[in-house]
Amino acid sequence: MHPSFHPRLINGPFDDPGLFIPFLFQKRAIVFDLGDINALPAKDILKISHIFVSHTHVDHFIGFDRLLRLMLGRDKNLSFFGPPGFMNNVEGKLAGYTWNLADKYNYPLSLQITEVQRDFTLSRKYHCQDRFEPLKDAVKKPFGGVLYEEAAFKVSAIILDHQIPCLGLSVKERFHLNIIKEGLKRLDLEPGPWLSEFKQALYNRTDPAAKFEVETPGQSGKKNFTLGNLAHQICRISPGQKITYITDVVYSEPNQDKIVKLARDSDHLFIEAAFMDKDREIARNKGHLTARQAGDLAARSGARQFSIFHFSPRYTDQESLLYQEARQAYEKII
């Protein structure tokens, strides 16, 4: 099986948090947190369509400027999501620059900013050509846990306690489509861009009786199928992939319960581990987890794989101790 999401931490564990999640065979990615993103090549940054920010401490949001700089002058619609007060933070960033030439760009960049409150979200659009002046009214929508959804996947969020509200995030594929090579061979088809269209049609719940045409380069003519018949011959459906991202949270009971529920059965849980357990008092005061607590949460949520990050600089050259502590806590329960 080829997973659809290929998450990777943007930086090493002592540097700013950020999880880059490119999609297989698509020039597209989402990102959880926006710390320093200089380690991401421009071609990867340009794939990003949706940005989810846990909170706006500087180590989680300073990458906004680099992203904006690269996207300016491009025909892009970027969607940002963040905690309560996020709209103000973004407006503050935008207000830091002079935009008198912004309406002269050939291609219009637009930003949609959504902030999450307990049971509703507020969204507002900002267009480069309007010098990023906010459109008048924010749109209010009820929020029941799903922050963003499209046919193939959804992103859920919870509000956690970090002495300020901080979002825990999870992306879940609705189901996974595995293309069977032998099936393609049997029908004399070659993989190509049509496969993305084919998958999208299945995610869109298109009528199985609908016609589906496949054009394969190097072959004369086209082949016609019904969507259902083609699906039957070339693909198998398996459970969708789930990636969860938890950072900057205190190990309180309400946080633990919410995290375990959000991260339940994740294929990969990315979870901060700023401190070692011997320093758990410092962790608690600063609103962070220890490696032991991170490993324990990974085990309790049944995550199949987990990675820790966001280490305090006090453990420079001792990162193996953090990995070891988290691993031991995980294995004790599993």
The answer to whether 259 and 301 have CB atoms below 8 angstroms apart is yes
Of 15, 36, 59, 296, the one binding Zn ion by CB under 5 A: 59
Residue 33 binds to Zn ion (criterion: CB under 5 A): no
Residue 17 CB, nearest distance to Zn ion (Å)? 6
Residue 330 CB, nearest distance to Zn ion (Å)? 22
Residue 162 CB, nearest distance to Zn ion (Å)? 5
Stretch that binds Zn ion, among 81-89, 129-137, 215-223, 241-249 (CB under 5 A): 241-249
CA distance 61 to 53: 7
Stretch that binds Zn ion, among 126-134, 244-252, 260-268, 321-329 (CB under 5 A): 244-252
- 14/105 with CB nearer Zn ion: 14
- 163/229 with CB nearer Zn ion: 163
Between the CA of residue 53 and those of 125, 196, 238, what are the distances in Å?
Answer: 17, 28, 30
Residue 165 CB, nearest distance to Zn ion (Å)? 11
Locate the DSSP E strands across the chain. 8-9, 19-22, 29-32, 48-52, 77-82, 110-116, 120-127, 139-142, 146-149, 153-161, 165-173, 175-179, 211-215, 222-226, 235-239, 242-246, 268-272, 306-309
Residue 16 binds to Zn ion (criterion: CB under 5 A): no
Residue 31 CB, nearest distance to Zn ion (Å)? 15
- 161/190 with CB nearer Zn ion: 161
Amino acid at residue number 99: W
Number of residues counted as binding Zn ion (CB under 5 A): 3
Residue 317 CB, nearest distance to Zn ion (Å)? 21
Residue 57 binds to Zn ion (criterion: CB under 5 A): yes
Stretch that binds Zn ion, among 50-58, 62-70, 121-129, 134-142 (CB under 5 A): 50-58
The answer to whether 311 and 273 have CB atoms below 8 angstroms apart is yes
- 102/166 with CB nearer Zn ion: 166
Stretch that binds Zn ion, among 109-117, 124-132, 145-153, 240-248 (CB under 5 A): 240-248
- 59/267 with CB nearer Zn ion: 59
- 111/158 with CB nearer Zn ion: 158
- 22/63 with CB nearer Zn ion: 63
Stretch that binds Zn ion, among 51-59, 147-155, 171-179, 198-206 (CB under 5 A): 51-59
**Which are the contacts of 111, defined by CB distance < 8 A and separation ≥ 6?**
77, 78, 79, 80, 90, 125, 126, 127, 132
- 152/326 with CB nearer Zn ion: 326
**Which are the contacts of 312, defined by CB distance < 8 A and separation ≥ 6?**
274, 275, 279, 288
CA distance 166 to 79: 18
Instruction: Write the binding mask 111 to 150 for Zn ion: x where contact by CB under 5 A, - elsewhere.
Output: ----------------------------------------
The answer to whether 156 and 170 have CB atoms below 8 angstroms apart is yes
Residue 135 CB, nearest distance to Zn ion (Å)? 30
Backbone dihedral angles phi then psi of residue 327, each to the nearest 5 degrees: -60, -45
Tokens of 277: 């357990």
Locate the DSSP E strands across 137-174. 139-142, 146-149, 153-161, 165-173
Residue 248 binds to Zn ion (criterion: CB under 5 A): yes
Between the CA of residue 268 and those of 146, 203, 296, what are the distances in Å?
Answer: 19, 23, 14
What 3-state class would DSSP assign to 38?
A: coil
- 57/124 with CB nearer Zn ion: 57
51: alpha, beta or left, given left = phi > 0 and alpha = psi -120 to 50?
A: beta
Q: Which helix (H) or strand (E) holds 70?
A: helix 64-71
Residues in contact with Zn ion by the rule CB under 5 A: 57, 59, 248
